[in-house]
Amino acid sequence: MNQDQLKKATAEAALQYILPHLEKDMVIGIGTGSTARFFIDALAEYKDDFDGCVSSSEASTEQLKSHGIPVYDLNTVSELRFYIDGADETNEHLHLIKGGGAALTREKIIAAVAQEFICIADESKAVGVLGEFPLPVEVIPMARSYVGRELVKLGGDPAYREGVVTDNGNMILDVWNMKIMNPVELEQKINSIVGVVTNGLFANRPADVLLLGTKDGVKTLTAK
Ligand SMILES: O=C[C@H](O)[C@H](O)[C@H](O)COP(=O)(O)O
C-alpha cells in the first residue's frame, strides 16, 4: 500500500470507530489535511445519522459543505463527542506535531473542546522523538522577527513559511532542528512568547486514540 492508501485506510477505520456512537443530534469535530479529507469523504455517506460538524479550516468547511454536511460555529456548540484529525508526527505518548497545513490554532481549539480526539495517521508519522518535522508556530505578523529571535534562544532554527497566511490572518514560522525531549514543557514555553498565537505541539492535550495505518493493517493505539 502506498501512503495515500494507508491514509485512506486509517480514515475508514476512524469511521468504523465512531459509527456505533453516532446520534441524530451529534456534532463532530473535523480536522484538516489529506488524511482528514479522506475521512470527510467517508463520513459523507452517513450524513443523515448525525447533526453536523465543526471544522478546523476553511478548506475542510468547503469540503463538508460540498457533501451537504452542515458546519456549525464552535461557539454555538456545547459538546463535541469526537474530534478526528491527522498529524505530522506522533510519539508513543500520542504527543503530536501538527500544523503542516497551517491549521494548528483552530485544530487545537477544537481538540480542547472534544471529549475524544482520534488521530489518524500513516506509519511514516510515528517517531521516537518529535522534531524531525519542523515545528509550526502561528505568529501575529508584527511579532514575526521578535518571535524568531526568541525561538533561536530555545535552540531552534525558525524559517518563515513564505506566502502562507493562516485562516486567522497570521503567519507561520517553521522551527527546524528541534529535538523535542520534553514536548509538554516546550509547548508551554513557546506559547508564552509574546506574539505567538500557538504552536503545533499537541502535548498538553494529546490525542486519546491513534489509528495508525501500517502495511500490516490499521493499529489502534492509546498513550504509553
Ligand atoms: O495543519 C494541518 C494539520 O495539522 C494536519 O493534520 C497535518 O498537517 C497532517 O496532514 P496530512 O494528513 O495531510 O498528512
Instruction: Tell me whether 0.85 is exceeded by the ipTM.
Output: yes
Residues 21-58: b if buried by 16+ CB within 10 A, e if exposed: ebeeebbbbbbbbebbbbbbbbbeeeeeebbbbbbbbe
Q: What is the pLDDT of residue 199?
A: 98
The pTM assigned to this predicted structure is 0.97
List, as residue ranges, the binding site: 32-35, 85-88, 98-101, 125
* Nearest C-alpha neighbor of 222 from the set 201, 211, 115: 211
- CA 7 – ligand 1 centroid, Å: 11
- The SS3 call for residue 116 is strand
Per-residue pLDDT of the chain (224 residues; tens, 9 = 90+): 899 999 999 999 999 999 999 999 999 999 999 999 999 999 999 999 999 999 999 999 999 999 999 999 999 999 999 999 999 999 999 999 999 999 999 999 999 999 999 999 999 999 999 999 999 999 999 999 999 999 999 999 999 999 999 999 999 999 999 999 999 999 999 999 999 999 999 999 999 999 999 999 999 999 98
Domain 135-198 in this protein, CATH class: alpha beta
Mutate to test the pocket of ligand 1, among 6, 30, 35 (most ligand atoms within 8 A of CB): 35
CA of residue 88 to ligand 1 center, whole Å: 6
Cα–Cα distance between 191 and 70 in angstroms, integer?
33
* CATH, domain range 3-127+204-221: 3.40.50.1360
Question: Atom 3 of ligand 1 has which residue's CA nearest to it?
Answer: 99
| Residue partners of 97: CB distance under 8 A and separation at least 6 | 87, 88, 89, 90, 130, 131, 133, 135, 136, 200, 201, 202
Residues in the annotated binding site for substrate: 32-35, 85-88, 98-101, 125
Q: What's the distance, Cα to Cα, between the start and end of the chain in Å?
A: 27
- Domain-by-domain residue ranges, the chain? 3-127+204-221, 135-198
Active-site residue, selected from the candidate residues 89, 107, 138, 150: 107
Q: Per the structure block, which three cell numbers stand in for 8?
A: 485512506
**DSSP-assigned letter for residue 160:** E
109, 166 Cβ separation under 8 angstroms: no
**Residue among 100, 195, 105 nearest 151 (CA):** 195
123 is catalytic: no
Atom of ligand 1 nearest to the CA of 57: 1
The angle, 0 to 180 degrees and rounded to 10, between the axes of the packed helices 34-43 and 3-18 is 50
